[in-house]
Chain A
């Protein structure tokens, strides 16, 4: 049941979810993009961040809330994201699958 309910996440979707997880309370598009750059060195386009966030939210992996506006944002609200339990399940499942696949390959690929 759990296996079929959690559809397999795309690689970039996993990256975004992990970044949100790492950021905790401070996860919104700008910090998510910075976090991905910090950890992986990948300079991803803003468009793909927004599209992915929106898609993950539609699929029920994320929930978002609008926070108060600040002057440095020109009086515009900020949208914070946090993981739903479903996303955590999917990440764990993804990790498990990868670790299983990795097992025994260390000598070849490190």
Chain B
């Protein structure tokens, strides 16, 4: 660029009326040259660009609003203005064409609505959950800290309290680190007693998420100490609901778990932590005596300003290494593992969501192919119109532009319909959303916002261009003379157009097959998951969870009284107590030591502790493998006994008999040995598709840890429905303690169904998309076959006049359809083999190359293709030779 001629000034000319262009560009240049020595080249150049842009906009605006006051831009400029006028003309003409062919328009719009609607809806979900930041300031700095145990194949497990203290004390890369645990507490006093969901958090948690209480203050480090820990921060919603938004609540006391708690603050309404907990309680940790064996804490931290994720990881690795040298017994086999909080929250659903996005993408491509075929058919019927335009001197570019404008217009109308369909389907989606998925970030806010609408608009325009470009070029590239010569004869299209159609149908068949194979694999996986036995008889089992805050002896007395009463309830065949219960509570793991084994073993010895009453196994009908179950004689005090599951027996006693061996979970100087008296079958605990962890069942009267008696579940075997059993259980609880609320009462079958609900939702969505794809493909094939038959009417007439039978004509036409189907299905099979590996993590009990699925899907698609082709083909056999030859 020479000094004399900044390039921008030449560009400028495109936007300014001809006779003003010279002097204005000259003025700008003059000022630019004057400014350069004073302000420097950079600032002068910025000034010039800025003013050129402003002036260009001013003149465009001026022209648009007072068109007459400026001389028209010379057409040879082909500037923005003439394009705009042309566009307006194209749009008006296009709209007229669409109105004139309502059937075509309607069919195309339905295909577009399905394609764009599905994409808009799924995009808004994927965007809301995966691509939006968490609702915290600088949320990318919020890190989830877990424990990695390579030998147990666990990447990001919960953290032992003592490890948490060491991380918090010794790290240099986090501005705050805090632990969180879910809490369930009872509030009494005042209105009805109520069970609340909340979280226990250590001091500093609010610094990690970067949110201050709207009223009052945060917790202090002191309040982690027992005795001072009875402080609570209320959620905004709970504060409004229970206390009528009374600000004087801060500083007063409320009764939680029968104890007075000081309300020190109220959170802002925006506060979110995997749904909105009603109360935030201080985590009473008794700092110092934390265990390294029991892993229960979720730990989060906020990176210091300027510290990178890598630096934080290196920092924690150093601490982890030191701890594993210092405490080899507990820490030798695990290390800190960091991920962003967002990734750790959405990691599980990410593959499923991306698969859904892929599925709707395929649906949209199929819809595009369909509309492209419709446009091709229409272009054929408009051949003469286009030929006349060409003959009158219309440029080919001008024609392509006209045709593309029509298809984009069509796509935009389809896009509007699709967005409306998305609004409706998102409402349905929110209603169908399993509660288990409500903890996902952003899921509650999923809906249409500007961002989603912009994407929908972009997708619509792109769609219009994609499906319009082939027909537009095909139509405008026709040979003039031949078309005009075919006086009045119905359109023929020619070999090239036929080939284009065949390619589009083959593409649709291939894309459908990929989608159908994916849906088939997911459906079979889902069946396989449902076929998994939970390890107990889940039918006719009802669970009621009751949280009790008093210490072990009193709590046990309450629970045992309750159990007595529940047993006597009508319709209850058997009842028992247990915690944590399958499909109800998560529960943690604990390390343990085995009597007589060297403690230097690096293989971590860990099990999930369970506290159960004597008839727990018989009530749930969990099979006893060997030894005995608990009896009422397994009461307080020695001898302590324990029952392990088969998984524990297999893992820790692979070569010998565990019966009679003793284990200890206390790790105290004086071990509290428990004798293994029985081995029971494996029970699925958190999901049918998960492997069962080693478990250790302990009798109710011998709780190994203090807190375990505070949350017990009553399990009943009853033929009565939940709706009749629940009130009787509640009144039984009320008769013992008026202030004691009862949590949910649910049928075990429902709980198991809820555990597979996300998979069920995912499978159904993919199946819905696959069915849409199948219908669109069938419609496409039907359309193409109808076209081909119409095109060959004369030929068929000749054949029949020469003696061809109906069945030979049928064969002739079906062979053509069959050829396309075979090619499409073959390409689809190759595509499916390549693409279904992205499904691998979602499959269960089936490989991505399961022959059953591939064969049945191929047969299904083949049959549908045959049916779609059969109707037009049978029409071919009814061709009247005389009529065909006369036309």
Contact = CB atoms under 8 A, between A and B. Distances in A.
A29 B27 contact: yes
Contacts of B70: 54
B345 to A, nearest CB: 50
A58 B34 CA distance: 31
A71 B26 contact: no
A55 B69 contact: yes
Contacts of B24: 29, 50
Interface in B48-106: 51, 54-55, 57-59, 62, 69-70
Which of B22, B23, B62 has the most chain A CB within a 10 Å cutoff? Answer: B23
B4 A74 contact: yes
Interface string B11-29: 0000000001011111111
Contact of A58 (B6, B22, B69): B69
B27 A30 contact: yes
Nearest to A75: B4
Given A47-B55, A50-B55, A71-B4, A76 B62 contact: no
A72 B22 contact: no
A1 interface: no
A110 interface: no
B33 interface: yes
Nearest to A59: B69
A71 B26 CA distance: 10
Nearest to B24: A50
A76 B69 contact: no
Contacts of B57: 47
A58 B69 CA distance: 7
Nearest to A69: B26
Contact of B26 (A46, A50, A55, A76): A76
B23 A46 contact: no
Contact of A74 (B20, B25, B58, B62): B25
A46 B58 CA distance: 9
Contacts of B33: 72-74
Interface string A28-63: 111000000000000001111011001100100000
A58 B67 CA distance: 13
A55 B70 CA distance: 8
Nearest to B61: A47
Nearest to B9: A74
Contacts of A76: 22-23, 25-26, 29
A69 B25 CA distance: 12
A110 to B, nearest CB: 37
A54 B70 CA distance: 8
A88 interface: no
A45 B30 contact: no
Given A54-B69, A72-B33, A45 B23 contact: no
Contacts of A54: 20, 69-70
Contacts of A58: 69
B5 interface: yes
A74 B2 CA distance: 10
A45 B52 CA distance: 12
B585 interface: no
Which of B4, B5, B22 has the most chain A CB within a 10 Å cutoff? Answer: B22
B192 interface: no
A66 B23 contact: yes
B31 interface: yes
Nearest to B6: A74
A92 interface: no
Contact of A73 (B20, B26, B54, B59): B26
A51 B17 CA distance: 11
A80 to B, nearest CB: 9
A29 B24 CA distance: 8
Contact of A79 (B23, B59, B62): B23
A57 to B, nearest CB: 10
A73 B28 CA distance: 8
A77 interface: yes
Which of A46, A55, A76 has the most chain B CB within a 10 Å cutoff? Answer: A76
A100 to B, nearest CB: 31
A30 B30 contact: yes
A37 to B, nearest CB: 13
B25 A51 contact: no
Contact of A29 (B4, B23, B59): B23
Nearest to A73: B26
A28 B27 contact: yes
B22 A66 contact: yes
Contacts of A69: 26
A47 B26 contact: no
Contact of B59 (A45, A47, A75): A47
Contacts of A86: none
Given A58-B69, A69-B26, A74-B29, A47 B20 contact: no
Contact of A46 (B9, B51, B62): B51
A51 B62 contact: yes
Given A29-B23, A77-B22, A46 B54 contact: yes
Which of B27, B28, B33, B57 has the most chain A CB within a 10 Å cutoff? Answer: B27
Contacts of A30: 27, 30-31
A64 B58 CA distance: 21
Nearest to A80: B23
A23 B23 CA distance: 18
B44 to A, nearest CB: 13
Nearest to A55: B69
B23 to A, nearest CB: 4
Contacts of A74: 4-6, 9, 25-26, 29, 33
A75 B6 CA distance: 12
A28 B31 CA distance: 13
Contacts of A77: 22-23, 26
Contacts of A48: 58
B176 to A, nearest CB: 50
A58 to B, nearest CB: 6
A69 B5 CA distance: 14
Contacts of A29: 23-24, 27
A89 B563 CA distance: 106
Contacts of A46: 27-28, 51, 54-55
Contacts of B34: 72
Nearest to A30: B27
A58 B28 CA distance: 23
A22 B605 CA distance: 97
A15 B352 CA distance: 67
Return the 7 tightest CB-CB contacts between A and B, nearest first.
Answer: A76-B26, A47-B58, A79-B23, A73-B26, A74-B29, A73-B30, A29-B27
Interface of A: 28-30, 45-48, 50-51, 54-55, 58, 66, 69-79
25 contacts: A29-B24, A30-B30, A30-B31, A45-B54, A47-B62, A48-B58, A51-B58, A54-B69, A54-B70, A55-B69, A66-B22, A70-B30, A71-B4, A72-B30, A73-B26, A73-B27, A75-B4, A76-B25, A76-B26, A76-B29, A77-B22, A77-B23, A78-B26, A79-B20, A79-B23
Interface of B: 4-6, 9, 20, 22-31, 33-34, 51, 54-55, 57-59, 62, 69-70
Given A72-B33, A74-B5, 20 more contacts: A28-B23, A29-B23, A29-B24, A30-B27, A45-B54, A47-B54, A47-B59, A48-B58, A50-B20, A51-B62, A51-B69, A55-B69, A66-B23, A71-B4, A73-B27, A74-B29, A76-B25, A76-B26, A78-B23, A78-B26
